[in-house]
Amino acid sequence: MGGRVIDADSKPTSPSNGERNLVLVGRTGNGKSATANSILGKRAFKSKAGSSGVTKTCEMQRTMLKDGQVVNVIDTPGLFDSSADSEFVSKEIVKCIGMTKDGIHAVLVVFSVRNRFSEEEGAAIHILESLFGKKISDYMIVVFTGGDELEDNDETLEDYLGRECPKPLKEILQLCDNRCVLFDNKTKDTAKRTEQVGKLLSLVNSVIVQNGGQPYTDEIFAELKKGATKLRDQQVEVDSLKGYSRREISELKEQMKKSYDDQLKRTTEMFEYKLKETTTRLEQQLAEEQATRLKAEQAAQSAQTKSNDEIGKLKKETAEIREQPKNGWCAIL
């Protein structure tokens, strides 16, 4: 793509309200980092095959597009994998909120056409909804990676979804108004790279328009932002205080930092509680669904056995009836 990558720490040249904050979520190995790199136009994040998670923590990188548009891309580890520890996940979410400042313009939910869609992935969306409210789905865009593999099989995304779209995936697509895009993160074809990133960014633009230009935020975002701003302002103020010793200034700063850290801790604990509650509820729901499915299967099985028995009985009776006249005539003769 035609984007120029600039460091996460460097100052953007466009106003902050012109920036786009994109967060990538999805199961470990689905290609979040590879997609983030495709958007950025360079290998900013480590992306490789492996059975365990490659990305260990949320990280932001940014790029500036040709038109001056700054795009902040936040890569995350597999936060909603069932193996993820809830305390770690909560800390990462808080960290991620801290990075987005003004809010999230789009959540890119990454699936891979190379991996089978799992129930766990369906559950991840419900976890997102339970943490951030139903409104979050208005910001979701589904990214399917592995476009090259579909191409090798002469298939389009529509073909793939026509043959491989389990109910939970269908529901996710419906939830986000069928906003989806196919990515081939392996291609060296510059035109193809530009086209797929362009398609994604135009979906991001339509999400922004649909949401009245407002990125996703809620009270938690607002509180954390307020806390961070307060800490920064207080520290500047303390630095300008006259008549205090270095030690006193450093103690004052410590106190302020502690109050902000306490706020972060409380928010993390709140997320952890919500996460545990949602996971338990979803596990129960899944277990109930499985039990219902099993019961239905058993009922079908027993109906089949019964019907087989009845057919067997009928066959026997028919055979006996066929035998009977012969016996009768035999008796008469």
Ligand X SMILES: Nc1nc2c(ncn2[C@@H]2O[C@H](COP(=O)(O)OP(=O)(O)OP(=O)(O)O)[C@@H](O)[C@H]2O)c(=O)[nH]1
Residue 263: name its binding partner from Mg ion, ligand X, none (Cβ under 5 to 8 Å by kind): none
Q: Which does 145 bind (CB under 5 to 8 A by kind): Mg ion, ligand X, none?
A: ligand X
Question: DSSP of 11-71, one letter per residue?
Answer: PPSS-GGG-EEEEEEESTTSSHHHHHHHHHTS--S-----SS-S--S-EEEEEE-TTS-EE
Q: Which of 35, 55, 63, 100 forms a contact with Mg ion (CB under 5 A)?
A: 55
Helix (H) or strand (E) holding 196: helix 190-210
Report d(CA 67, CA 208) in Å as an integer: 17
The length of the chain, given as a count of residues: 333
SS (H, E, C) 214-263: CCECCHHHHHHHHHHHHHHHHHHHHHCCCCCCHHHHHHHHHHHHHHHHHH
Residue 279 binding partner per list Mg ion, ligand X, none, with a CB distance cut-off of 5 to 8 Å that depends on partner kind: none
* Contact range with Mg ion by CB under 5 A, out of 10-18, 48-56, 139-147, 230-238: 48-56
- Please choose, from the candidates 166, 8, 232, the residue with its C-alpha nearest in 3D space to the C-alpha of residue 99: 8
Considering the complex, what minimum distance in angstroms separates the CB of residue 287 from ligand X? 27
| Cβ-based nearer residue to Mg ion, 33 or 61 | 33
Contact present, 160 and 148 (Cβ < 8 Å): no
Euclidean distance between CA atoms 235 and 257, whole angstroms? 9
Cα 177 to Cα 157: distance, rounded to the nearest angstrom: 16
List, in sequence order, every residue forming a beta bridge with 107; answer none if it has no partner: 23, 140
Compute φ and ψ for 257, nearest 5 degrees.
Answer: -65, -40
Should residue 185 be labelled a site residue for Mg ion when binding is judged by CB under 5 A? no
CB of 303 to Mg ion, least distance (A): 48
Q: Which is nearer to ligand X, 31 or 215 (CB)?
A: 31
- Based on CB atoms, which residue is closest to ligand X, 49 or 333? 49
Segment lying near Mg ion (by CB under 5 A), choices 28-36, 80-88, 238-246, 312-320: 28-36
Between 79 and 224, CB nearer to Mg ion: 79
Closest contact distance (angstroms) between CB of 27 and Mg ion is: 10
Q: How many whole angstroms separate alpha carbon 16 and alpha carbon 14?
A: 6
Q: Which is nearer to ligand X, 33 or 279 (CB)?
A: 33
Segment contacting Mg ion by CB under 5 A, of 25-33, 56-64, 118-126, 209-217 = 25-33
The least CB distance from residue 46 to ligand X, in Å, is 7
| Crossing angle for the helix pair 32-40 and 190-210, to the nearest 10 degrees | 100
Q: Is 145 in the site for Mg ion (CB under 5 A)?
A: no
C-alpha radius of gyration, the chain, whole number: 29
Closer CB to Mg ion, 111 or 221, in the complex: 111
Q: Which does 236 bind (CB under 5 to 8 A by kind): ligand X, Mg ion, none?
A: none
Please give the backbone phi and psi of residue 3, each rounded to the nearest 5 degrees, phi first: -75, 150
Closer residue to ligand X in complex, CB, 149/177: 149
* Binding positions for ligand X, rule: CB under 6 A: 26, 28-34, 47-49, 53-55, 77-78, 145-149, 183-186
Nearer to ligand X, 53 or 198 (CB): 53
Q: Is 33 in the site for Mg ion (CB under 5 A)?
A: yes
Binding piece for Mg ion, criterion CB under 5 A, among 52-60, 94-102, 168-176, 228-236:
52-60
Give the up-direction half-sphere exposure of residue 238: CA atoms within 13 A in the CB hemisphere: 19
Half-sphere exposure of 265 (CA within 13 A, CB side): 6
Rounded Cα distance between 146 and 151, Å, is 9
267 is a site residue for Mg ion (CB under 5 A): no
Contact partner, 48, from ligand X, Mg ion, none, Cβ < 5-8 Å per class: ligand X
List contacts with Mg ion (CB under 5 A). 32-33, 54-55
